[in-house]
Amino acid sequence: MILSKDNLIPLLPEEEMQRRQRRAQSEWPELWRLLDHVMDPEIPVISLYELGVLQDVRFESDVVVLTLTPTYIGCPALQIMEEDARKALTDAGYPDVRVVKTLSPAWTTAWLTSAAREKLQRYGVAAPLDGVAAATCPQCGSTDVEAVSEFGSTACKALFRCASCLEPFDLLKAI
């Protein structure tokens, strides 16, 4: 059988594959590396890239253009993300920065990198698996968990409790 694009089963959503290709093929890898140190203000153990919010970094003339996709419309952390990314770039000698915010394609938990999922788990936040809201307790690993509230510590998380260890935890909502 000859493999072609038409008979391959994608392992990533098309938009996420394109985002990863933009980074891998970028003419400015140093900008991506700089931004790898800009953490999500609500979950400070994962970068904007690992979260899937950072879509692209490029130059237009002498201006660095960042493209960000919020986790949801009205995300209050987006302003802080933008400020932190802008500061990282200006501190590194790139004074002219423009941030483009886009809602299309919409952010999804499928864009989380595997590194982000591991970091979330260690931080005490569960991540949905394959877009399914099934949760595993980040404290003890049990799947015997129950939803307490659709609203967790932030609007993009739900509050769960583990029936085994009785600890509450946030689950990043499957979007």
- Distance (Å, rounded) from C-alpha 33 to C-alpha 36? 5
Tell me, what's the pLDDT at 67? Answer: 96
* pTM of the predicted protein model: 0.85
45-93 tens-digit pLDDT: 999 999 999 999 999 999 999 999 998 888 889 999 999 999 999 999 9
Instruction: Report, at the CATH architecture level, how domain 12-109 is classified.
Output: 2-Layer Sandwich (3.30)
Q: Residue ranges of the domains in the chain? A: 12-109, 124-172
